[in-house]
Amino acid sequence: MTTTPMRIVHCVRSPIGGIFRHVRDLATTQAEAGHDVGLICDSSTGSAFDNRLVDELESKLALGVARFPMQRQLTIQDLTATYALYRHIRDLKPDILHGHGAKGGAYARLIGSALRLGGHKVARVYCPHGGSLHYDPNRFEGRVYHTIERLLGRITDGLIFVSDYESAAYESKVGHPKALTRIVYNGLMPEEFKPVTIQDDAADFLYIGMLRDLKGPDLFIEAIYNIRLKNGVAPTAHIVGEGPDEDRYRKMVQKLGMESAITFHGALPAREAFKLARNVVVPSRAEAMPYIILETVAAQKPLIATRVGGIPEIFGRYSNRLIEAGHIGKLTLAMETALAEPAKMEQQAEELRSCLAETFSINLMSDRITALYQELQGFVPSDLSAPAPAKNASAVSRAQTIYAKSSNR
């Protein structure tokens, strides 16, 4: 895609997980396309593995990588952080200020507005990546965060959603967006579509992702325990990832007496983790458009996943294979079936992979997002600025009846 070079600054609070995978891929692809790109993220979040990924970006981005303390929740320290970020971003003179996640999006839009008051023409772009949309609108926290989103929507120039489901959730919880809006699926690199061969001593199941209740590691552990109660022997499993609830999950495994069955690892590259087990389990209670689902399907790994967020959009005509989120009985049954019918799981993995590559491409993702930037700058590429897919009533209904029930855990 040929475009006018721009100065693009991405702002994200937490440099871990799928949201950072998205930012890292997007920033790298934009830099390779000839744009001057920079990244701002939290200085207090991330393991050695995560920090290494951040450091690797430094040499690739013309506007560099800067890290500042950023709190996850709203605190008085946000005022100090906002001023520090403002001074840094002001000196970068960006054309595009792209915020990712609730906190990154807030910083980008507030600072972008301050720059515009100072006469600097900068476009303020926001991608929720779930974020505040995971909060229940019927609870106090949800009402607070959705009100803030509503106010920030007035100073937003471009909105990017990673799934139709996320777009519907925004409309249901925040309101109809006034900004230029696009739905752009996350994308993978071509080499990620090669099957992964498992180790000779591979376990039965793998959980890979952030260790917090929203993603369901507790359900994964409980399902393995349920199988042990029924069969007398627990299936073997690996848990790969890091997160705020890790200690609690370790204690849970210890309390249930399953230390010999379940092994914890830190963060690992997804394709390395895939070698550890025959089946991948994603028991999330809420999602936007999870990379781990895309990575698992592309690697042709047997997969058990829940019907949340944009996951049905990935599964397409195979979405009937998804299970109800938060239902331990159905998760246990699905895992038992995977143990009993490995050939069927392999066949389903092959069927899913065959329809993924064309839609979930990293180059298409980058081109669509960059096209939105260009349109905000007054330049409209010939065919990449097409409107987002039209939302339908069923998508909005799903957001109201399912996504609204998920709370930040």
Pair of tokens at residue 229: 């109660």
Q: What is the pLDDT of residues 57-97, one digit of tens each?
A: 999 999 999 999 888 777 777 888 899 999 999 999 999 99
Percentage of the residues of the chain whose pLDDT score is greater than 90: 83
Query: Where do the domains of the chain lie, and which CATH numbers do they carry?
Result: 7-187+361-405 (3.40.50.2000), 190-353 (3.40.50.2000)
pLDDT band at 399 (very low <50, low <70, confident <90, very high): very low
> How far is the CA of 346 from the CAs of 198, 258, 408, in angstroms?
13, 27, 34
> How far is the CA of 226 from the CAs of 222, 233, 235, 335, in angstroms?
6, 10, 10, 10
Strand segments (E) across 145-211 = 158-161, 180-183, 203-208
Q: What is the pLDDT of residues 324-382, one digit of tens each?
A: 999 999 999 999 999 999 999 999 999 998 778 678 999 999 999 999 999 999 876 54
- Residue 47 region, left (φ>0) first, then alpha (ψ -120 to 50), else beta? beta
Q: What is the pLDDT of residues 236-246, one digit of tens each?
A: 999 999 999 99
Q: What is the pLDDT of residues 294-306, one digit of tens each?
A: 999 999 999 999 9
> How far does the chain reach from its first CA to its final CA, in angstroms?
41
Residues 6+ apart with CB under 8 A from 103: 13, 70, 71, 72
pLDDT at 28: 97
Q: Is the pLDDT of residue 254 over 90?
A: yes
pLDDT band at 391 (very low <50, low <70, confident <90, very high): very low
**In the block, which residue shows the tokens 């087990």?**
277
Task: List the helix and strand counts (H, then E) for the chain.
Answer: 15, 12
What is the C-alpha to C-alpha distance for residues 70 and 106, in angstroms, rounded to an integer?
12
User: Roughly what angle, to the nearest 10 degrees, separates helices 77-92 and 101-117?
Assistant: 60
Q: What is the pLDDT of residues 136-147, one digit of tens each?
A: 999 999 999 999
Mean pLDDT of 164-190: 95
Q: Is the pLDDT of residue 384 over 60?
A: no
Position with higher pLDDT, 235 vs 71: 235
User: Roughly what angle, to the nearest 10 degrees, separates helices 17-32 and 48-58?
Assistant: 10
Q: Is the pLDDT of residue 389 over 50?
A: no
Per-state percent for the chain, helix, strand, coil, to nearest 5: 50, 15, 35
Q: What is the pLDDT of residues 117-161, one digit of tens each?
A: 999 999 999 999 998 999 999 999 999 999 999 999 999 999 999
Q: What is the pLDDT of residues 185-234, one digit of tens each?
A: 999 999 999 999 999 999 999 999 999 999 999 999 999 999 999 999 99
> How far is the CA of 146 from the CAs of 102, 149, 174, 312, 373, in angstroms?
10, 5, 6, 25, 25
Residues 6+ apart with CB under 8 A from 220: 205, 207, 237, 239, 281, 283, 331
- The DSSP result for 47-89, as a single string, is -HHHHHHHHHHHTT-TT-EEEE---SS--THHHHHHHHHHHHH
What is the C-alpha to C-alpha distance for residues 409 and 398, in angstroms, rounded to an integer?
20
What mean pLDDT value characterizes the chain?
91
Element (H, E) at 277: strand 277-282
